[in-house]
Amino acid sequence: MSTIEAVPDAGMPKGAVKALFFAVLTASTIVGAVALIYRFANGLIVTNLTQLVPWGLWVSLYIYFVGLSAGSFLISSLVYVFHVKRFEEAGRMAVFQALVCLIVGCAMILLDLGHPERMWRVIANWNRTSVLAWEAVFYSIYILILLAELYLLLREGFMAQAKELGVKGYVGRVLALGKESLSDNEKKNAARRLTVLGIIGIPVAFGVHGGTGALFAVIKARAIWYTGLFPVVFLVSALVSGGGLLTFLMAFFTKAGKKNPGLIRSLAVLTAGVLCFDLFLLLVEALVTFYGGIPEHVEAYIQIFTGQYAFVFWGFQIFLGAVVPLFIVLHPKTKTHVTWLGIGGLLIVIGIVGVRLNIIIPPLIQPEFPHLPEAYHHVRWLRGYFPSLLEWLTSIGVISLGVWAFVVGKWLLPIEYETPE
């Protein structure tokens, strides 16, 4: 029976690597902050979006991070709803990861809104026949569930942390709400509440990211989106990305990478299995599309497979995001090595970026009316799209803020608190 090798040193990188990490993170945050100010001062004119491609990088990253969040939460449900003990050590991290990714995703969509200050109108002027309106309701409930679950999971850790000095001790004392310990009965009640929240959260998470898929699926003008399978594809790829990110973070940034390498292997295998199902759905959808031969539908897939951004599909989505990770999980020399499994998880996360970009950009590049770009002689009617420098910089800025939220939160909150036996 083969043994699983742990990472040489789990936890944050130390020394020069750690200094370099924070230097790069700080620089990207500053540059991104300047770009964000410029974006909100000048509006959407700073983008390369056109009349033909009104959604671009920001919308792609929005659905990407929301998918990371929903996938992470659904994996946490294995622990708190279905009581799968194998993944118990990853439960808190999965919920925390889900919250951070949701915040980043919501920030990304704010970048794309012409008037983000009006977003409250979705609720205030609620329309029960609007998919977007229902999506806003699911988001609100989902955020509350994540916050409630995270607090229940960390409450005992806050009580232990309250005994420390400094900022962490102060946070612990405030959030412990004056209690020093929990009785056995209180622990049982907390576990029951977690289960109830998880049960409620599963359909809500489906609504959050399946609903995001439904936003596209009900757009009749785009044949590639207008299918009943589209919300399902969103959910499955969300599980893939959430599992990949959790595998990476648990392998390199927690003690579990060293103490419980079997957990990393289990997460990697679970993610690889869902990835295979995701690839199967892609194959089925493509085969049905080409067999049906509807020109608008076929053209969108041709654009993805052979168009100007085909390297995103073949290079990122298929090779980096699927072939290499599956090789890592299956190869005898890498499947038992936590470092390689963590890298495989990271590659899956990168590959799903390609999935999201391919969902948005290639279908929009192909105009619904072939000669429409020729009818208008203006840069905003040109066929094609590539994100502007400012789109990249603002995206980097938002992601940097998300990384800061993760780093500070992981340091300040008892994510890895071990409950006394």
Q: Would you list the domain boundaries of the chain?
A: 15-412
Pairwise pLDDT comparison (388 vs 257), residue with the higher score: 388
pLDDT for residue 27 is more than 60: yes
What is the residue type of 157? Answer: G
Using the Cα atoms of residue 350, residue 352, residue 355 and residue 360 in order, give the sign of their dihedral.
negative
Are residues 183 and 34 in contact, defined by beta-carbon separation less than 8 angstroms?
A: no
Provide the angle, in degrees to the nearest 10, between the axes of the packed helices 15-42 and 389-412: 130
Buried b (16+ CB within 10 A) or exposed e, 362-387: bbbbbeeeeeebeeeeeeeeeeebeb
CB atoms under 10 Å from CB of 210, counted, come to 21
Pairwise pLDDT comparison (131 vs 61), residue with the higher score: 61
Pairwise pLDDT comparison (9 vs 180), residue with the higher score: 180
80-94, 119-133, 338-352: segment of lowest average pLDDT: 119-133
Please tell me the distance from the alpha carbon of residue 101 to that of residue 52, in angstroms, as a whole number: 29
- For the chain, percent of residues with pLDDT exceeding 90: 59
- For the chain, percent of residues with pLDDT exceeding 70: 96
pLDDT of residue 299: 86
**Would you place residue 263 in the very low, low, confident or very high pLDDT band (cuts 50, 70, 90)?**
very high
Please tell me the distance from the alpha carbon of residue 379 to that of residue 375, in angstroms, as a whole number: 12
Is CATH 3.40.640.10 what the domain over 15-412 is classified as, yes or no? no
Please name which of 417, 24, 66, 7 lies closest in space to residue 249, comparing C-alpha atoms: 7
**pTM beyond 0.85, yes or no:** yes
Average pLDDT, the chain: 89
Could you read off the pLDDT of 291-300 as tens digits, one per residue?
A: 988 887 888 8
pLDDT for residue 381 is more than 80: no
| Mean pLDDT of the 170-183 span | 88
Long-range contacts of 276-279 (CB under 8 A, 24+ apart): 276/326, 277/236, 278/233, 278/236, 278/237, 278/240, 279/322
Pairwise pLDDT comparison (155 vs 12), residue with the higher score: 155
pLDDT for residue 367 is more than 80: no
| Mean pLDDT of the 259-268 span | 92
What is the residue type of 162? Answer: A
How many alpha carbons fall within 13 Å on the CB side of residue 229?
14
pLDDT of residue 2: 55
| Mean pLDDT of the 102-116 span | 92
pLDDT for residue 1 is more than 90: no
Pairwise pLDDT comparison (396 vs 253), residue with the higher score: 396
pLDDT of residue 420: 66
Please name which of 80, 71, 79 lies closest in space to residue 196, comparing C-alpha atoms: 80
Are residues 319 and 306 in contact, defined by beta-carbon separation less than 8 angstroms?
A: no
Are residues 364 and 385 in contact, defined by beta-carbon separation less than 8 angstroms?
A: yes
Query: Token match 């609100």: residue?
Result: 140
